[in-house]
Amino acid sequence: MLRKLATVALCISSVACASDTTIAAKHLLASSQRYNVTHDGSNFKVNGQRVEQYDLDPSLRKPTAIKDLFKSNRSRLEVSRIGAGYALKRHEQLRGGGAGGAWLGSWLGYGGVMAASKVVTGLIVWPIAVACPPAGIAVAAVLETVVPIVVQPVALTAGIAGGIALGTATGPV
């Protein structure tokens, strides 16, 4: 009798689980691949336990979430424990701008700061040069010598920061 009851329970559970779509390991972060993640058409389950809507990433609450997940080879799910339950978070794998982005960012950062210093220098020298040409020439000579020395480290720092920012800038693949 117990054997028949166990067989019936096994059949019912296999039919119920057959309607669940198992999320392949390639769609899970490495740290989450030890969990069995399924989707039954409306809810996600982790190890057979339903994940509550408030524990889901907002992008996974939509009815088309499972299609969107499978459509993108760059989406990964992260499973985390919350008390006795689970939470799911979606991560998009992104790629940086590479060497071209780093080169462009460095020139934009360096060139932008140096150009701004030239504009400011011109705004200071121009009124002096118009009012008193000999004094304007002297001020221009001093500013053209001093300003690049002072501004160049800032420009180099901006260039490095711009290069790092655009070289590693992320966006969907």
Could you tell me how far CA 60 lies from the centroid of its own chain?
17
Boundaries of every domain in the chain: 2-92, 96-172
Under 8 Å between Cβ of 98 and 91: no
Taking the C-alpha atoms of residue 86 and residue 66, their distance in angstroms, rounded to an integer, is 18
Tell me the pLDDT of the chain (173 aa) as tens digits: 556 544 544 445 544 444 677 877 777 877 788 888 888 877 888 988 888 888 888 888 887 777 777 776 777 888 888 888 898 888 777 666 677 778 888 888 898 888 988 888 888 888 888 888 888 788 888 888 888 888 888 898 988 888 888 777 655 54
Q: What are phi and psi of 93, to 5 degrees?
A: -80, 130
Quote the tokens at residue 24.
Answer: 């392949």
pTM value? 0.45
